[in-house]
Amino acid sequence: MFRGKHIWLLPLITALVVAGVGWWADGQLRRVVRQEIHNDLEATLNANVTALEIWMTYQKRIASSLAEEPGFKALALDMIAQRQAMTNAATATERARQLLVVGQFGERLHTLGYPYAQVVDTNYVIIADNARGRVRIGQPMLDELGPRYRELFAKGEPLIILPFKVPHPNGPRRYSPGSRPAPGILASRLNNRMLTNGPASLLRRPSAMQVAVPLKDNLGQIQGALVLVINPDAEFTRILSVARNGDSGETFAFDAEGLLLSESRFDAELKKYRLLPDTPAAVSALTLHLRDPGGERALGYVPETNAPLIWMVENAVNGNSGVETQPFRDYRGVPVVGAWRWLDAGFGIGTKVDATEAFLTLRMVRSIFGLLFLMLVLASLVILLFSYRQVLWRHRLTEAEFKARRLGQYHLVEKIGEGGMGSVYRARHALLRRETAIKLLPSDKAEPHAIQRFEQEVQLTCRLAHPNTIQVFDYGHTPDGIFYYAMEYLDGLNLAELVQRHGPQPEERVIHILRQVCGSLGEAHGLGLIHRDIKPANVFITDRGGVPDTVKVLDFGLVRQFGPHASNAQLPEFVRTEGIVGTPNFIAPETIHNSDQADQRSDIYSLGALVYFLLTGEYVFEAGTVAEVCRRHLDEIPLPPSDRLGKPVEADLEALVLKCIAKDPARRPQSAAALGDALAECAAALRWTPERRARWWSTFRQRAATQMPAIAPALLEKTIKIDFEERTP
């Protein structure tokens, strides 16, 4: 399939195939990677949510178990009932400590790791506390915690109170937005414990959680509540940090206002971005609102004042749960992918990972593929360059070989033309010393189709002997596969060059030329052959043999038989099955409809279009596309030559031209001989005298000697083949 100079197509086609497969594979890989990321995020979120729900259930069960301790419950209910009867503050304090510290209950609190415990009555007043130091028995709870305790006493079920910041004992009881308030007396006791016996984590970040369970009497009436204080660092945050994705993944909790309830993995970075104070005690939990800055802070982006919540948090607080693998910005402004869920406990859980890390595998595969594709393209370009240089050198070598060799008895002198079917050389017969034109079909173009066309042109042209038809002398091929045929050498110019250089021609000269063309075609038509490609480039004029304006009809490569007795079965398969052929500006309408309808009158239409061109210097119909030209041949009435030329044309000649290009073949002259006779009867037929012809050629030769090289037969206009599917209806 890929031979010779076309070998360079192989790597290019391979590159295109690889690109197509790569595009498909990239889509499949992207889908698989996104699904894996989706599954990982969902699994991580489910693991954290499940662990957190188990932990909260466990805390509620422990608190409920402790509240049902017989000794503790009886004392607690009795103390709640007698609270107003206690007048001795020291006795009340000691009894409160005895209630929560002494005995089996106190041992269980110590074993289970709860820093503090309290008893609260239904008026939200603390009546017992096991904190060391000063105890403010009778201190009411803060108003901000009222809704949670009202829910506790209304439903009678244990509940978890989310993390909150613990204020300084001597500080204000209310805090700025973004900080959760704590119970006043509990805050005092908790801070006091942190400053004395508290763990180091609590010393760094004074925050707490609570699990509260109702205390019911024998009749099931709620009389108060047992409150257990939890260290969120040792429990809540630690659970959320167990399951993480990679080096940038994190799971965090947040409330309905987007406030971070657990510690961020990136506190050190947040301090660099001035989202946190640059102090050891500063932490993101209960401080940072999860807002989208609109750009990466690491790149110096300054967010707007009223930035919205990050996308996943905003979806969660609106009650939605989901997974998103299309990157969005987190609170650092870094593109991430994540999953989120809003829990019935009144807070949300989110897990995320940087998009750069999540799609690392995809980027690596894409980079490898891109590198391979680039190498393949470079290889294709190298082969293309090598092939081009090889073809160029082969062409130069062939030229040198042709100049240095003989084709039989013919010595090649110089190249004088080149077309799609090969090259034309001026040659000299070794014995006859006669100049000859040699048409060559090089071995790299000698495919079966081209050889058949080449042989057909030679064989059919040899059947024609009219003096106005190009004569073929010889045909053959060399041992190395170069086909050639020898024909008479013409020194002049074709009609396309004539009009291009000298403009529209006089009427009398047009008649003189066309009568000779009619003579050549008359012989062909008499043998049942139609030319099918009459156009200016295929009609050559010269002063051969001392006869000025001698016409030669060239290129019978598209000839075929017509009529009821046509034996086209003898023609090559590609000729019998081909679609419409010809040059669009000179093609007959019936040929466009059906090439089998073509006969000698189709050549007459082409001759009429040729006369029109010689008289006006323009085509009968012109358009931007082949299809539009064919449509105009089918449908439009042409302008008379005089209208197109802008000056009068002999009436008889103009009428004859319009008759030749009639849409209906029956209205045209029915033969080339009839057209020749009609041309001879035109008023201007005799005005192109031998003297005028001789003067014209004398002037032409003088100019050619100083300005132009000798002109040989050449195809300057393009002959096309139109498939049946592309025909204009």
Residues tagged active-site: 533
Evaluated on CA atoms 260, 253, 119, 106, the torsion sign reads negative
| 633 vs 638: CA distance, rounded Å | 9
Q: Cα–Cα distances in Å, from 447 out to 287, 393, 441, 444, 515?
A: 83, 21, 10, 8, 38
- How many helices and strands in the chain, by DSSP H and E? 23, 22
Q: 42: which residues sit within 8 A by CB, 6+ positions away?
A: 323, 339
N- to C-terminal Cα separation, the chain? 36
3-class secondary structure per residue, 663-706: CCHHHCCCCHHHHHHHHHCCCCCCCCCHHHHHHHHHHHHHHHHH
**SS3 of 542, please?**
strand
Q: 143: which residues sit within 8 A by CB, 6+ positions away?
A: none
| 590 vs 596: CA distance, rounded Å | 9
The token pair that represents 39 in the structure block: 């599954």
Q: 472: which residues sit within 8 A by CB, 6+ positions away?
A: 458, 461, 462, 485, 486, 487
The token pair that represents 64 in the structure block: 């409920």
The secondary structure of residue 304, as a DSSP letter, is P
CB 376 within 8 A of CB 18: yes
| 301 vs 84: CA distance, rounded Å | 60
Neighbours of 218 (CB within 10 A): 7
**Cα–chain-centroid distance for residue 309?**
34
